[in-house]
Amino acid sequence: MISYDKFSASQRYVAGFSIACAAAAVQWALWLSLGSRIPFLVFVSSLAMCAILLGPGPAGVVLMVGFVSGLLMLEPIHSFHVEESGDQLALTAYVALGLMFLFAGSKLRRYARVAEDARTEVAAASMRAEHAVQRQEKRFLVAIEASAVPFSLLDPVRDANGAIVDFRWSYLNRAAAATLGFERDSLIGRKINDVLPGSWDEPGMLERYCSVSATGESQQFEFYSSANGIKGWYHVYASALDDSIVVWFQDITEQKQGEQSLQEEAKSKDRFIATLAHELRNPLAPIQQATSLMRQPGASDHTRQWAAEVIDRQSRHMAVLLNDLLDMSRISRGVLTLRKALVEVKPAIHDAIEAADPLIRTKQHELIVRMPPHDVYLEADQVRVTQILSNLLTNAAKYTDSGGTILLAVEAEDDTVSICVSDTGIGIKAEKLQEIFEMFTQVRPERDNQDGGLGIGLAVTKGLVELHGGTIEAASDGPGAGSRFTVRLPAAQQHVPAAVDAGAREHKQAPGALRVLIADDNHDAADVLASLMELQGNEVHVAYEGQAALAAYHAFRPHVAFLDIGMPLLTGVQVAEAIRAAAGGGNVTLVAVTGWGQDNDRANTLRAGFNHHLTKPVSFDRMEEILQEVRQQAEVV
Ligand code: ADP
């Protein structure tokens, strides 16, 4: 291809001039040998060559040199005059032919330049396109390489009949190689079944890939892999790319496990609600029957007494269930606070045994208690320690066939007190030892649930132990071999003389009459409580709403007032505030009796001036304890 632009204008003119001189020399030589009438052959051909190769300017130089040479060499020689008409014609023809070549040469040059420009443009465009493709490819690769989602490109491997029998990796990203547990380079070009034998054993797997390759339609599916040490759930998305297939696969094991545990949790909750309904109905039936029995006109005193005991027992059972539920809810919300004090272990154990005693007796178990010779102190909430131990003792009694042995052993180490409750009961399977401390999962569906509870007792127990900074562990040599629960609590750093605690517990039975005000809009609740208080020898006044309660306070001036909170006209809190604001109102002991037992409810009542906050159903023993305190303060004992 001719390219004038390779030379500068001066170079072209120098070349043109040189060609013209060379042509003049040749022409001169020819003239000398062939005569002056030789046409301007050399000049014409040089001019044509210059016009094409160097452009019209240099060709013009050749034309001029040729013309001057013609003038000089045509007769008369060495003059600028041409005499003969034939020579004049030849010179004119030379100039005309030269101008035509010049014109044609300049045209040709322009076309050549256009063609050259077009060629350059095409080359640049194709280079740009190539770069764009390379950049695109690079971006695509970077994206795929950076992707955490495993990706691979598979080419089909066919048998002699053309049927696909396997696939081989033609590309896979880093994530895919890592998931498969291989170096990427060791996989590329290899057949899947050679590297991961049994990959196509998963029913329908190879068929799916074949169908994608054959039909070009994408497919997505989930499958569980257990071959070649690759365990887990995968979501696969396969689509066709020419004859090959592109496969994205994502590890969804965690998501699947989450779904499964949600399903299990939902099932556990359903089971829990069913058990809860059952457990709450259980005591309700005897309570209703005992109530009907008491109403019978022919019922003897003995029958009524027995019915009252049934109601008492069953309502206590319900209260335990409800309290456990509330405690569990508070523990899981992190709002259960402990009232820690320096406490001795012995009284907590005593109270726990007292709580579990009815069941231990009914099942005729032998209870052995082993204590260290010296007193053991804890920095703990005594009520909660009692609850922990009574749960363990009750379970030991529940899950041991009649006539078993329960051992409660206390050991004091340097900074830990360990309390172990072991039994000779049904034992626990090793795989259940952890599970039994979880909420909802402890209910024993495989067993007649007659003795079992809601399955939250141990969850509450563990929560309470951990709130104290302690640990609890279960051990068992297996079914039928008994169980052992060990609670470890931090020991108190300081010791307290034993007399402090003994003294505190001495005044339990002290009798003495008090003036007691009972206010509750539930007439039955108020009346029953009033009867019980009167039976203890107290003077009792009952009010069924807030204003009447306040009036009764002023008229009656009680030592102690049990006030329901949710009363009409004035709430218990308003009554308490009015009493505290009245002259002498600071002396009376105010007890809030309410169904609301959250910490902020307690804080509210204490702020209003109450001395105690009791949650319904209130144990009469607790009320009696409060009366006892009031008796002491009032010195009416
Ligand atoms: P519940 O007794 O209300 O079912 P718990 O949370 O107190 O709930 O106990 C959870 C489970 O642990 C029980 O259902 C029972 O299977 C098992 N368990 C607890 N204590 C013992 C024990 N001493 N011996 C055998 N199994 C026990």
Question: How does pLDDT run across 289-300, given as a tens digit for each residue?
Answer: 788 888 888 878
Are 74 and 39 within 8 A, CB to CB? no
As a whole number of angstroms, the distance between CA 285 and CA 272 comes to: 20
Q: Which residues line ligand 1 (CB under 6 A)?
A: 395-396, 399, 423, 425-426, 428, 436, 442-444, 452-459, 483
Across 258-263, average pLDDT: 90
Q: Which residues pair with 473 in a beta bridge?
A: 486
Task: State the pLDDT at residue 583.
Answer: 84
How far is CA 185 from each of CA 47, 156, 179, 194, 289, rounded to the nearest angstrom?
66, 19, 14, 15, 80
Dist. CA 442 → ligand 1 center (Å): 7
- Measured from the Cα of 452, ligand 1's closest atom is 4
Phi, psi of 532 (to 5 degrees): -60, -40
Which of 331, 436, 462 most suits a substitution to test ligand 1, by most atoms within 8 Å of the C-beta?
Answer: 436
What is the percentage of the chain residues whose pLDDT exceeds 90? 29
Q: Is the pLDDT of residue 456 over 50?
A: yes
- Measured from the Cα of 454, ligand 1's closest atom is 3
- At 357-384, the pLDDT tens digits run 888 999 999 999 999 988 899 999 888 8
Across 83-92, average pLDDT: 83
Task: State the pLDDT at residue 586.
Answer: 87
Dist. CA 386 → ligand 1 center (Å): 18
Dist. CA 621 → ligand 1 center (Å): 28
- Continuous segment of H or E residues that includes residue 146: helix 85-146
Concatenating the DSSP letter of every residue in 89-136 gives HHHHHHHHHHHHHHHHHHHHHHHHHHHHHHHHHHHHHHHHHHHHHHHH
Q: Is the pLDDT of residue 600 over 90?
A: no
As a whole number of angstroms, the distance between CA 288 and CA 561 comes to: 30
> Where does the pLDDT of residue 39 fall: very low under 50, low under 70, confident under 90, or very high at 90 and above?
low
As a whole number of angstroms, the distance between CA 589 and CA 631 comes to: 11
- At 499-514, the pLDDT tens digits run 333 333 333 333 468 8
Phi, psi of 150 (to 5 degrees): -65, 135
Which of 247-251, 296-300, 312-316, 321-325: highest mean pLDDT?
Answer: 247-251
- Measured from the Cα of 459, ligand 1's closest atom is 6
Task: State the pLDDT at residue 4.
Answer: 55
Dist. CA 483 → ligand 1 center (Å): 10
> Where does the pLDDT of residue 450 fall: very low under 50, low under 70, confident under 90, or very high at 90 and above?
very low
Q: Is the pLDDT of residue 336 over 70?
A: yes
Is the model more confident about 7 or about 68? 68
Task: State the pLDDT at residue 1.
Answer: 46
Which of 279, 322, 395 most suits a substitution to test ligand 1, by most atoms within 8 Å of the C-beta?
Answer: 395
> Where does the pLDDT of residue 449 fall: very low under 50, low under 70, confident under 90, or very high at 90 and above?
very low
Dist. CA 339 → ligand 1 center (Å): 27
Q: How far is CA 93 from the centre of its chain?
A: 99
As a whole number of angstroms, the distance between CA 605 and CA 442 comes to: 36
Dist. CA 399 → ligand 1 center (Å): 7
Dist. CA 455 → ligand 1 center (Å): 7
- Measured from the Cα of 423, ligand 1's closest atom is 23
Dist. CA 436 → ligand 1 center (Å): 7
Are 476 and 427 within 8 A, CB to CB? yes
